Amino acid sequence: MNILLTNDDGYRAIGITELHKALAKTHSVYLVAPKRNCSGMSSAISLMADIEVEEIDENIYSVAGTPADCSYLGLLSIISEPIDLIVSGINLGANLGEDIFYSGTVGAAITGRRLNYVPIALSVAAYEPLHLEYLATKSLQIVHQASQLPADKNLLLNVNFPDLPESEIKGIKMTKLGKRGIPDQPLLIHEDGKSSFYRFGPSGSLMPNQEFTDMQAVADGYISISILNYDMSAVDQSFASYAEVFECE
């Protein structure tokens, strides 16, 4: 399988480095990722702007643009081989619940929804994870399992790992997205004449009754897999039929 590997943390991030090593054992991997950290950029593209692409090594490229730029450039320009699957991650920090709306990790994966296999966004609930080698190996397994999913051109897998050793992972759960309250108030850093400088802090606090959600699963020591549907229609689609693929409880 030809895999386009990207992220939003940057091409040198430890998450994508470990994942690249794991995927390359059995697949042809083309790493195209941002030059710098681009967290929170969702699926934004650098419209009508010049984008620098640098070849770092064989089949490894850095892009002075957004995560979505990386995916589009890899699919449409940089890589001559046909891409079967986009994998994004492993992101340092979880992408749970409504975080997906601004997640660059998810935004980079979305562009692969028209390919032969369902795109996959992978994140770990830690900024300095201790078990990346195991999580990368588990990611490879999930990639193989996901290849069994039906060829629905609107689906995306959003996977979140707790940062735990293999012995403490309780299993995999198919989950729905959790919900947060109103985001925290932006921090006023300082004022300079007529200008004010703000910084966004954490997302809103978790709302109560998070049963069967990605947030609850990760907190309880499970790997969470949420199936996202980018048809964007108001249709109730059950994910129960997919649970067997991932050996969920």
Neighbours of 29 (CB within 10 A): 20
Is the pLDDT score of 72 beyond 80? yes
Is the pLDDT score of 150 beyond 60? yes
Q: For 198-216, how does the pLDDT look when each residue is reduced to its tens digit (9 = 90+)?
A: 988 767 777 777 789 999 9
Is the pLDDT score of 232 beyond 70? no
At residue 234, what are phi and psi to the nearest 5 degrees?
-85, 70
pTM, entire model:
0.89
Q: For 25-40, how does the pLDDT look when each residue is reduced to its tens digit (9 = 90+)?
A: 999 999 999 999 999 8
Q: Which CATH superfamily is domain 2-178+205-246 in?
A: Survival protein SurE-like phosphatase/nucleotidase (3.40.1210.10)
Are 239 and 227 a contacting pair, CB within 8 Å?
A: yes
Q: Among 54-68, 134-148, 161-175, 206-220, whose mean pLDDT is lowest?
A: 206-220
Q: Considering only CA atoms, which of 233, 226, 241 is closest in space to residue 105?
A: 226
| Helix pair angle (14-23, 132-146), 10° resolution | 50
Q: Which residue has the tokens 């940089």?
A: 78
At residue 39, what are phi and psi to the nearest 5 degrees?
-60, 145
Q: Which residue has the tokens 């790992």?
A: 161
